[in-house]
Amino acid sequence: MVDLASLNSRFAIPGVATVGAGHGGLPVVQISKPGVCTGSVYLHGAHVTAWRPEGAEEVLWLSEKSAWQGDKPIRGGVPVCFPWFGPRNSKDYPDSPMHGFARFKAWDLESVTDSPAGVTVVLRLQNDAATMALWPVPFTLRHRITFGRELQMALEFANKSDAAVTFEEAQHTYFSVGDVRQVRISGLEGRRYIDKTDGFQEKQQAGDVTITAETDRVYLSTPDPITITDPVKRRRILIHKENSLATVIWNPWIAKAKAMADFGDEEWPGMLCAETASAGPHAVRAAPGQMQVMATRVAVAGM
């Protein structure tokens, strides 16, 4: 059981950052920086669940049906997928959880610091017996999140083993949109993508991405920024990436939403996943002792 009093004595910043009992009693760092933003990140999965820059509406989406317990991932916000993305293709580890183990783990709070740009929260995950049983690699993974007028999230991997290692990772961000059927995603035109709703066929994107059915695509060779234009909320969400060549676009649509217990049947029009990923052909290869950073920067602008 986490000792909130001890965490607050070490990390709270009066009037800016506190460590509280969030949904399900899970410990959460709550940020409120007057004139800049509000936000929150759970120690469970180092899971960012909210970010709202001053003058804007909440940018991230959370399901009303999310589970809030240690052995399940939170539905919405920014799940951290690591060290694999999607189902694990390994006959040696048949019981591997979807999207890796990082989003199921209780991370350690390492630091909370305030600056004029925003509040930076650093959470740390290290290998333990459970992770070694699933993935026999000593590692340290930090999630460094700056809540400011922009949201900056950096996943910092350190290979603590004496061998090279290959892994996948993603910041699986759920954005709040007015009506997913009316949004446009620009920045992916002309790119190849794997269509997971059509036999994993490789296709080419013509023009902006629009959502007219279940959509589950891994865009390849996409280092560039993308923009979600939302005419209902009358805003644009600008997403910049660092060290990520895969971009995942996902909306479950009607049937898939109904099939998920932690996703409300009528919630799908209000969300869109646009994910910063290093997966598939763009998996990460880290030499012994190597540090590797993958990052996302989100900003909100008017139409």
- Site residues (CB under 6 A) for ligand TA6? 73, 86, 98-99, 172, 196, 216, 248, 250, 273, 275
Please report the sign of the dihedral spanned by the C-alpha atoms of residue 26, residue 252, residue 209, residue 293.
positive
d(CA 71, CA 85): 18
Instruction: List, in order, residues 6 or more apart from 128 with CB less than 8 Å away.
Output: none
Give the number of other CB atoms < 10 A from CB of residue 290: 13
> Are the CB atoms for 195 and 217 separated by under 8 Å?
yes
Nearer to ligand TA6, 108 or 202 (CB): 202
CB of 268 to ligand TA6, least distance (A): 12
CB of 218 to ligand TA6, least distance (A): 8
Nearer to ligand TA6, 47 or 99 (CB): 99
Altogether, the residues listed in the chain come to a count of 303
Supply the residues annotated as catalytic. Answer: 172, 275
Nearer to ligand TA6, 98 or 133 (CB): 98
CB of 16 to ligand TA6, least distance (A): 31
Give residue for tokens 């910049």. 240
Cis before 83? omega within 30: yes
Give residue for tokens 């920086």. 33
Nearer to ligand TA6, 158 or 260 (CB): 260
CB of 74 to ligand TA6, least distance (A): 9
